[in-house]
Structures are given as C-alpha cells and as structure tokens.
Structure 1
Amino acid sequence: MSKVVLITGGSSGIGKAIGEFLDEKGFVVFGTSRNPTNYKESKFPLVALDVTKAETISKCVDEVLSKASKIDVLINNAGAGITGPLEEIPEEEIRRNFETNLFGPINVIKAVLPSMRKNKSGLIINITSIAGYMGLPYRGVYSASKGALEIITEAFRMELKPFNIEMTNVAPGDFATNIASGRYHAPVLNNSPYKTQYGASLKTMDDHVDEGSDPKKMAEAILKIMNNPKPRIHYKVGAFMQKFSIVLKRILPDKVYERLLMNHYKL
C-alpha cells in the first residue's frame, strides 16, 4: 500500500517540488495551502491549512485521514521569511514569524501524532534552514525561528522513540523559489541608521535566492530520507559553501566567524 505523505506549504517552491516528485514516484501526496482554489493546476490535491490557525490544522488532518485513512509521513515545509534590522522590525511581525515557523509546525506535529502512534509508525520531516545554524545580519528573526525548530526536533525525537515514530530536520540553503516575494521586509527607512547596510544586504539576499539550486535537489534528498528506516537527526541540502559554513562555525573562533559573515554581507 502506497505511503501517504502530507506536505504543508505544498502550493509553491520547495513544497511543490517535493510533492510533484513524490507523486511521480507513486506516493499518495496531499499538500496544503491557505487558499487551495488558487492552485487548480496542482498535480496533487491541496487541502486548506493556515499553520497559524489551530482550527484549520485539525480540520486538514481530519480531512486527509478521512480520505487516506493514515498519514505515514508529515513534511513540515510551510514557513515564512523575514528581514530587517532587529531594532526596527515591529514586534507583531516577529511574533507572526515565530507563529508560522515554529508554533505552526509544532501544532501540526501534535495533530498527526495520535494517528501515527495508533499505527505504531511514522516519519516527520521538519524543513528548517542553514540560516538556523547562525545568527545572520538582517535575518536574525528568521535564523532564530528556524534554529528553534531544529532544537525542538532534537527533543521531540527522544520523546517519540517509544512509539516507533521518527523525526528529522532538513536544512536547505538557497534554492531558486519565490520565497523572497513572500518575505516580510522591514522597509528601508530614509532616516534609519541602517539604511545603507540593510539596503545592500537586502539585495544580496534576494540575489542568493535567484542564483539558488534547483528545488528538485531537495525533493531527491527527502526521498532518500524517507527510504532510510533510521534517519539522522540533521540533514543539510545546498551548495557546498553553504553547508561548509556550519562546519566553519564549529571550528573557528567566534569573532573570526563573525568577521567572515560580515565580509560575506559586505558589512
């Protein structure tokens, strides 16, 4: 019997690439979107879900279970970008980002666990970010929310061991998707002390996405993880230097690493 996969944020970008790839491989795939009717050309069914609204999470999971009777794999992919000087990002935007990137995935996990525990099996894959391994200038909120999900996953894994439910993180680098268009960008204010540096960094960040890898590489990595009965705790997918930046943080003195990041962002 084909495995049933639920992918949050499956209407575009990495989530769409994963869904289409797994659908071609014969999996039963359900994606989610806040507005599924906007994506009538989707190659796999989309279910309404807003990860910041608990009632839509339970309704989505119930709908998938009613149609497929089980959820073998949850891929927590829905997320949101955010940029800006930490001093100038409104508090409500910081909270909104954590609601999407941290609390949302946690609540989706909670919703699927009873079914997985009943079936005595399951795999949960949390899509985080290489940015979650370091505090990046003008991306600090995003780094923090994705880093928090990495740590939450480590704890969740140990708690779920008795139920034969596996959980892992996959941290992508820059991929050529439309994520930049969906980010919250704190405005570059004319009277801001950060105007010059933030404006230049914003362009650099968008260029990195435009020059990013093919999202299909993420889909291929996800399939390999799904085929591994004992997945690792952390995976990184992206360009060599992006992955190597995590290694450098482990081995370099803190201030040397900080200087490397500042040089990279031309600060």
Structure 2
Amino acid sequence: MKKVILVTGGSSGIGKSIAEYLNTAGYQVYGTSRNPENYESIIPLIAMDVQDDSSIALAIKTLLAKESTIDILINNAGVGITGPMEETPMDAVEHAMNTNFYGPLRVIQAVLPVMRNQRSGRIINITSIAGYMGLPYRGIYSASKGALEIATEAYRMECAHLNIHFSNVAPGDFATNIASGRFHAPVIDGSDYAQGYSHTLKLINDHVDEGHDPIEVAHKIKQIIEAKNPGIHYKVGSFMQKFSIVLKKILPEKTYEKMLKKHYGL
C-alpha cells in the first residue's frame, strides 16, 4: 500500500513542491491550506489552520476517514516576518510564533496518537537556516525556527522507542512566493533602525528572487523518508548559506557577529 503523507501548507511555495514531487514518486499525499478552495492543486487539499486546535482535529479526522493511517507528517506551514526587534508589534510576534512554532507542535500532538497506535511514523519539520543564528531584522523568524529545531530534538529522543522518527530540514533562500505573505514591520522615518532595516529588506528580497528551485528541498525530503535511519538535522541551500552554520561553530562569537554585520551593512 502507498504510504500516506500529510504536508501542512501544501498549497504553495516549498510545501507545494514537496507535495507534488512526493505524489509523482508514488506516495499518497494530502496537503493542507486554510482556504483550499482558493488553490488549484494536483493533490487533495484539506482545510486546516495550524493556530486552531479544532481545525487541526477536524483535518486529521477527515484524513483518517479517507486513509485510516498517517505514515508521514511534514510540518511546512509557516509565515515570514521582518522588522527591528524593538519596533515589531507584539501581535505580529505572537502570530509568527503561533504559526511557526506552536502550530507544528499542535499538529504533532494531533498526529502522534495515530503513529503511537501503529507503532511507526516519520515527522519532518521544515525549519530554516535562519534558525541557527539571530539574524538582524529577522530575529523573530530566526527565534521561531530555532525553537522548532530544538523541540524536534526532544521529540526525537522521547519517541524513538515507539519507532517514530523525527528530523529537521532547514532550507536557505528559495524562489517562492513567501515574500508576498511576509509580515514587514514598517520602516519608520527618523528611526534609529531605518537605514539598516531598509538595506536588510532589499537583501532579503534579492536573495529570495535569486533563490534555488524548491524542488531541491523536495528531493531531500524523499531521501529522508526512504532512509533506514534518518538523521536529525538537514540543511538545503547554497554552499555559503550552509557554510555559515559551520562558521558559527568554529569562529569566535564576536568575529562571527562582525561577519554578519558586514554582510547586512550594519
């Protein structure tokens, strides 16, 4: 029988690439979206809001009515957010954390009973290379993805004896529509942060426009699914993006900080 895969945020961007690629690879794939009726998709989309427990419960119930099992969960749904730490509204901070961190945890809590009952399952959380460092003017996004990286490590150890495997996949910059849905704290004229923030916004948008094809992430996901003993952390992106994580480990802290500041023109 085909393994059943659930991809949250499967209607666009990286999630859509993952879902469609795994579908063509022979898996039974379902995606989720808050408003599935707004999207054309070659895979079935189930309504789900990762900030709403009842919406998640209904989505899992709907999927189980169709398939009776969930073999693999790919937590991809997320939002972007930029802004100076001081000037980013707290409601925007809470929304980002609710989607990028609490959201995946809610879906995991809903799926784990199914996987525990069947004594098998794989859960892959899509994080970000940004989650390995506190990036200027992207601090909230970095924090939300970094928190998910760490939580996955704990889940992995707690669930290993149940034959449920957890992994993280941290993408770098990819050519998707994430910028269109990203929350941007406004650039405030006269602010002490205006110059640095404006420069950083341009860099971020340039990096997304120049990003690789998200199919690279989908290829990595398939490798993890088919691995006998999948690893904990995977990074997908340009050489320099992945190497930046290595540099953080080996360089003195202040040297690494100066390198980041220079990159962002600060």
Report the TM-score range of the alignment, normalised by the length of the smaller protein.
Answer: over 0.9
- TM-score (normalised: structure 2): 0.99
Question: Is 1:22 equivalent to 2:19 in the alignment?
Answer: no
Name the residue aligned to 2:99. 100
Name the residue aligned to 1:50. 49
Deviation at 1:193, TM superposition (A): 1.3
CA displacement, residues 209-266 of structure 1 (integer Å, 9 cap, x when unaligned): 1100100000000000000121101000010100000000000000100011111111
Name the residue aligned to 1:38. 38
Secondary structure, aligned partner of 1:88: coil
Secondary structure, aligned partner of 1:170: strand
Name the residue aligned to 2:130. 131
How far apart in 2 are the matches of 1:104 and 1:55? 12
Name the residue aligned to 2:119. 120
Give the alignment of 1:214-225 within 5 angstroms. Answer: 214-225=213-224
Question: Is 1:5 equivalent to 2:5 in the alignment?
Answer: yes
Percent identity over the alignment is 62
- TM-score (normalised: structure 1): 0.99
Quick one: which amino acid aligns to residue 203 of structure 2?
T
Give the alignment of 1:222-233 within 5 angstroms. Answer: 222-233=221-232
How far apart in 1 are the matches of 2:263 and 2:61? 46
CA displacement, residues 176-215 of structure 1 (integer Å, 9 cap, x when unaligned): 0011111110001113111111011101101101100100
How far apart in 2 are the matches of 1:265 and 1:69? 49
Quick one: which amino acid aligns to residue 3 of structure 1?
K
How far apart in 1 are the matches of 2:52 and 2:191? 34
How far apart in 1 are the matches of 2:179 and 2:257? 24
Deviation at 1:161, TM superposition (A): 1.1
Q: 5+ residue gaps in structure 2?
A: none
**What count of residue pairs does the alignment treat as equivalent?**
266
Name the residue aligned to 1:161. 160
How far apart in 2 are the matches of 1:200 and 1:252? 25
The two structures, once aligned, show a CA RMSD in angstroms of 0.6
Question: Is 1:188 equivalent to 2:193 in the alignment?
Answer: no
Quick one: which amino acid aligns to residue 232 of structure 2?
I
Name the residue aligned to 1:200. 199
Quick one: which amino acid aligns to residue 53 of structure 2?
A
Q: 5+ residue gaps in structure 1?
A: none
How far apart in 2 are the matches of 1:229 and 1:49? 30
Quick one: which amino acid aligns to residue 179 of structure 1?
I
How far apart in 1 are the matches of 2:53 and 2:262? 42
Deviation at 1:26, TM superposition (A): 1.1
Name the residue aligned to 1:249. 248
Secondary structure, aligned partner of 2:123: strand
